[in-house]
Structure formats: C-alpha cells, structure tokens
Amino acid sequence: MSVASLRRAARESVSGLPREFWWLWASTLVNRLGAFVATFMALYLTLDRGYSASYAGLVASLHGLGGVVSSLGAGVMTDRLGRRPTMLIAQVSTALSVALLGFMKDPAAIAGVAFLVGMASNASRPAVQAMMADIVKPEDRVRAFSLNYWAINLGFAVSSMGAGLIAQYSYLAGFMGEAAMTLACAVLVFVKIPESRPERTAKEVAAEPAVGMGTVLRDGRFMSVVGLSFLVALVFQQGFVGLPIAMGAAGFSSADYGMAVAVNGVLIVALQIPVTRFIEHRDPRRLLVISSVLAGYGFGLTAFAGSVGMYMLTICVWTLAEIVNAPTQTGLVVRLSPTHGRGRYQGMYTMSWAVAALVAPLMSGFVIDRFGAEWLWGMCAAVGTVAGLGYWLLMRTLSAEHEAPAAAGVVERQQEIVAAP
C-alpha cells in the first residue's frame, strides 16, 4: 500500500465525527494512560505483599463484584440522571478509592477497598457508551467505536510498560498516578463534554413503551448475546488475572509481564482500524465464531510458553481475536438496543464483563493453585469453543432484520459496548 493510500485511509477513519466525540475520546485516552490497579493488582498482592494466588484471585474477584453491583445502577443513572453527571461521579469516586487502596495494609481492608474501586471504575462505562451512541451518527458508529477502542489500547500499551517499571520501585506511586490521571479525566469531562441524553417529547413518551430492567431481562435475543459475551470476556480476562499470576509463579518479573502484555495494546493500536475496515464487509456470524475460538486457543497455547518471547507470541494470537470480536459484537449489540433505554441496556451488557471479572480471578487462582497453569489454559480453549458454538447457533436464529450489517458495518439502532479491561 502506498503512502498516499495510507494517508487517505487515515483521513477516512477520522473524518466526519463530531467535536464532542473527540473530547470523549481524549478523556478515554487520559483515563487509560493512568491504568495500574487492574493490570498489576495480582502482582502487587503476590510478589510485593506475599499473599497466595488464591487470595489475589479473591481480591480481584471482589473488584469484579463491585463492577457487577454498579453496572445496573450506573445504567439506570445514565438514563435518569444523565451521561455527564454519571461519568463525573464515577471518575471522582474512582480517583479517591484508588488512592486509598495504595495505603491499605490489612488483608480485609485491601479486599474491601478493592470492592469500592471496582464499583467506582465500572460505573462510568454505561454512560460513556451511551454518550457515544448519542453523539455519533448511525453510519459512523462502528468506526467511532473502533477509534475509542484504539484509544483505550493506546493508553494501555503506554501505561503497562511504564507501570511495569514503576512497580519494581514503588507500587504506591502507581496507585497515586492512576488517581491523578482519573481526576484529570474528570476535569476534562467537566470542562469540555456537554450532556447528550436525548430529550423526548410528550408524544414520543406516549408512543414508545417504557424501558425498565425487566424489559432488558425479557429480551431473550439480547440476553443471549450478554451470556455469550460473558464467556468471551471470561477468556480475555485471563490476560490480566491468570497470566500475571502464572508468569510470576514461573519466575518472571513484573517488568517481564508488563513488556509481554503491552504487545496486546500495541497490536490493537496498529491493527484495530485497518482490520475493522477489512472485516466490515464480512459475514458477522462467521467473524464472531472465528474470533471466539481463536481467543480460546490463543490462551490455550500459553501452556507451551517458556520465555517472554513465547508469551508475546500467544498474546498476538488472542489479540487478533480481540480485534475482530470487539467491533463485530458492538454492531450486534447496538442493533438490539432501543434509543431511550441505552443506559439500561449498556449497563446489562457491561455487567457481562463485570461478572467475568468476578469469576475469572477465582477460577484462575483456584486452578493454578490446585492443578497448575496448564489446566487453566486448557479450560480457556474449551470455553472459547463453547462460545463459538453458541454464536453459531444464535446467529442462525437471527432474522435479516436483526443481523449485524455486513455491507457497510452500519449500525441502525443505538447501543455500544467497549471492552477490557
């Protein structure tokens, strides 16, 4: 591809999006540049504090439980209170709780504050995702979601390498750095991003049925997607809970893990947008099946890794699956969600990742302690296979009206989810 072609592709990828989107994009980048707790909590507890893998898994699960508790409440807040106030409350609360966590010494206190951090940090996600759906035109949403996902991973790639080095000298500095960056994100939201919640007329309110959490739970097609999302998230979570524990037990340092896992963010930064442009014309059914299976077996290959280079190679495999899965599943979720219930639908979808963040550490800690890391990676391969089969069965039942658009990646109905950790 020529330089002129690359420049044209870059212009097409970023043009036509509203200014508010770019401020939201910038706030996402600032927030992810400060990420530390979710990435290095397991190493902090096992290597610095000397706790067992099971205790590290318990704390990480409490962090995930906090996210589960806040997901649905934050979704309701997003619809009722507004996107901007929900984001501000969540970000300020995250900064305060992360700073507090760095000073905790007692095991029970660490676990309790980790729960609060999980609640606060997860509460902004339904609001961010709903705001993106509000401010971006339907035909531009897949591209916007990919750009936002790109920002998440650009920040992650930079922060994971830097935080890995910081962790060798002072974990407290990492906690305080994340608190400062999260506060900076809140300031950016307060100064630059206006409220985007759509206002409905009395006629619209009368014509459209009310959306409550019961409506979401009764939406069988959407809840099937939520369930499959949980399985995929359970696999991807192991890159940040199971992998650092396994590498630490194998004698690798926090810097080794930071260097290896940074490959995930670097590849997404390099490939997310061009891969999205490539797959937007492909059959979404096939993409969801392939990406789920590829994720499972990418982690399965970790059983054979014995060096940092081999860990990086396995990370390349499951990162490719992540790159394909994220925009494809986003398009499907958006189509299945109503405009005036974006917050609640986003909250439920976010909860699938939060529940995975709760279950994954318990699973990884228990399996590694009792059976060894090789069993964990074999389980990931099995779960990825089950998820792929589930997507195949679900997508067979979707009518043409509800299939994710294959021709142009156009999202017609209003919902979005971003992934990660």
Rounded to an integer, what distance in angstroms lies between the CA atom of residue 196 and that of residue 215? 23
pLDDT digits (tens, 9 = 90+) for 181-210: 899 999 999 999 899 888 766 665 555 666
Q: Does residue 404 lie within any of the structural domains?
A: no
Q: Does residue 54 lie within any of the structural domains?
A: yes
pLDDT digits (tens, 9 = 90+) for 256-291: 888 888 888 788 888 887 887 777 667 777 888 999
Determine which helix (DSSP H) or strand (DSSP E) holds 303, and give its type and residue range: none
Angle (deg, nearest 10), helices 342-370 and 125-135: 140
At residue 238, the pLDDT reads 92
Task: Look at residue 406 and tell me whether its pLDDT is greater than 50.
Answer: no
Rounded to an integer, what distance in angstroms lies between the CA atom of residue 277 and that of residue 103? 45
Q: Tokens 């206002």 map to which residue?
A: 199
For residue 373, what are the domain limits? 17-194+214-397
Q: Does residue 35 lie within any of the structural domains?
A: yes
CATH number reported for the structural domain that contains residue 185 in this entry:
1.20.1250.20
Q: Does residue 229 lie within any of the structural domains?
A: yes
User: Is the entire prediction scored with pTM above 0.85?
Assistant: no
415: Cβ contacts below 8 Å, ≥ 6 apart: 129, 130, 133, 333, 334, 335, 336, 337, 342, 345, 346, 349
Query: 135 near 356, Cβ under 8 Å?
Result: no
Query: 377 near 301, Cβ under 8 Å?
Result: yes
Nearest to 414, CA basis, from 344, 310, 318, 354: 344
Q: Does residue 367 lie within any of the structural domains?
A: yes
Q: Does residue 248 lie within any of the structural domains?
A: yes
Q: Does residue 324 lie within any of the structural domains?
A: yes
Stretch 229-253: mean pLDDT, rounded? Answer: 89
Stretch 203-223: mean pLDDT, rounded? Answer: 74
pLDDT digits (tens, 9 = 90+) for 98-149: 999 989 888 899 999 999 998 998 888 888 888 988 888 877 877 788 888 8
Query: 337 near 415, Cβ under 8 Å?
Result: yes
Domains contained in the chain, number = 1
Rounded to an integer, what distance in angstroms lies between the CA atom of residue 314 and that of residue 295? 10
Q: Does residue 9 lie within any of the structural domains?
A: no
